[in-house]
């Protein structure tokens, strides 16, 4: 039986990992830490409701570390998974916030856990943005070319963890997933924003003409990849996790429009606020996690988009009143 603590557990990917873990009979407890108070069912998906093995605590990992560390020592989780990060790639404004959360807070968490005998594994959620724009699939040994303060902060976090493993044998792994999506995702992200625009008959703002190409992985497949690492990975190893190939944002939005029975030409409008410095293509080579741990994606993108549309229709009354813009918070 295992006890898990998910830092950043209130976000969409923490929610889906929690759901995956609670569906397992050998899970003793899942304790989630989130910056926000629990979200509504449209975003929290009722995960953990009425399950005595689940608990959520609102703690800010930058400003309330004393509470966080007390909770670590009280609950004594065997596995800690860290999703917590400022993760919006337009990070040129107030860049220090990204370093406070993604590097400084992480280093303090690890320093606390290093001396705790109850910890068996620490899994850090990294990012494919470290590789920058690629012309071919990038494996874990590819050159790292971060192109935003966000990506630099995630690179610094990875390097810190690698050093902790080499020098102090801190029992860590890093997973670098591709862009991911899933029911419950906040509405400033591409797929949920497109679904909402379709439901509300609004135009979708297509930035950079939709030309950037990214790889999209369903949140359930992210959860499965993380669990494969928890169960079978040797310590200190980094794993990419993504689908076989990328898709342009234009074609991705077109798939959403088609699923909703909307004409793409009538659906999209060119946006004037193109993202500065956006990489042309993210593309991962995930053969290491496939060959070593037996993981590969199971949810086709078309099926995943249908899942998102169904979620949007089910929660339409709430989603139509939600903010669709990213708000930078500490």
Asked if residue 47 belongs to a domain, the reply is yes
Would you say how long the chain is, in residues?
A: 330
Q: Please report whether residue 305 resides in a domain.
A: no
pLDDT score for 277: 65
79 within a domain of the structure (yes/no) = yes
Q: What is the pTM of this model?
A: 0.96
Give the model's confidence band at 273: pLDDT under 50 very low, under 70 low, under 90 confident, else very high. Answer: low
Greater model confidence, 288 or 273? 288
Pairing state between β 179-181 and 79-82: unpaired
Is 252 within a domain?
no
pLDDT beyond 60 at 274: no
Q: Which of 187-191, 209-213, 292-296 has the lowest mean pLDDT?
A: 209-213
- To 5 degrees, how large is the angle CA 4–CA 223–CA 60? 50
Domain of residue 142, CATH code:
3.40.50.720
pLDDT of residue 276: 63
Does the pLDDT of residue 272 top 80, yes or no?
A: no
166-169 long-range Cβ contacts below 8 angstroms, 24+ apart: 166/236, 168/114, 169/235
pLDDT value at 326 more than 80: no
pLDDT mean over 269-286: 79
Mean pLDDT value across residues 97-118? 97
Report how many domains make up the chain.
1
Q: Quick one: pLDDT at residue 89?
A: 65
Instruction: Answer yes or no: is 206 within a domain.
Output: no
Average pLDDT, whole number, for the chain? 95
Confidence at 148, pLDDT banded by 50, 70, 90: very high
> CA dist 288 to 5, 28, 48, 140, 205, Å?
26, 30, 32, 8, 37
Print the domain residue range for 134: 2-180+216-241
What values do phi and psi take at 117, rounded to 5? -70, -20
Mean pLDDT of 85-99: 87
Report the pLDDT averaged over residues 168-180: 98
Mean predicted confidence (pLDDT) in 25-39: 95
Residue 127 placed within a domain? yes
Q: Is 5 helix (H, G, I), strand (E, B) or coil?
A: strand
Domain-embedded: residue 278: no
Is 61 in contact with 34 (CB distance < 8 Å)? Answer: no
Q: Does 114 reside within a domain? A: yes
């Amino acid at each position: 039986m295992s006890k898990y603590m998910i830092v950043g557990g209130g976000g969409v990917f923490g929610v889906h990992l929690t759901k995956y873990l609670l569906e397992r009979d050998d899970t003793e407890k899942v304790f989630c830490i989130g910056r926000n108070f629990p979200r509504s069912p449209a975003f929290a998906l009722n995960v953990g409701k009425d399950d005595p093995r689940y608990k959520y605590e609102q703690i800010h990992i930058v400003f309330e570390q004393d509470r966080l560390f007390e909770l670590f020592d009280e609950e004594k989780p065997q596995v800690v998974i860290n999703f917590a990060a400022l993760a919006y790639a337009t990070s040129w404004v107030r860049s220090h916030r990204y370093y406070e959360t993604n590097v400084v807070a992480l280093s303090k968490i690890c320093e606390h856990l290093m001396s705790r005998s109850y910890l068996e594994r620490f899994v850090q959620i990294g990012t494919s943005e470290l590789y920058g724009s690629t012309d071919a699939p990038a494996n874990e040994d590819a050159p790292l070319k971060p192109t935003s303060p966000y990506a630099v902060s995630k690179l610094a976090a990875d390097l810190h963890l690698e050093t902790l493993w080499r020098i102090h044998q801190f029992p860590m792994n890093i997973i670098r997933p591709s862009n991911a999506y899933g029911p419950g995702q906040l509405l400033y992200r591409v797929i949920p924003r497109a679904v909402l625009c379709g439901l509300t008959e609004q135009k979708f703002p297509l930035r950079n003409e939709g030309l950037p190409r990214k790889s999209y992985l369903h949140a359930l497949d992210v959860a499965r990849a993380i669990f494969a690492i928890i169960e079978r990975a040797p310590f200190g190893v980094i794993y990419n996790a993504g689908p076989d190939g990328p898709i342009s944002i234009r074609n991705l939005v077109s798939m959403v429009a088609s699923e909703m029975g909307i004409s793409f030409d009538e659906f999209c409008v060119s946006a004037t606020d193109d993202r500065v410095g956006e990489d042309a293509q993210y593309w991962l080579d995930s053969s290491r996690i496939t060959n070593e741990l037996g993981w590969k994606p199971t949810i086709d993108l078309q099926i995943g988009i249908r899942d998102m549309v169904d979620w949007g229709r089910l929660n339409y009354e709430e989603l139509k009143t939600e903010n669709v813009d990213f708000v930078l918070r500490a």
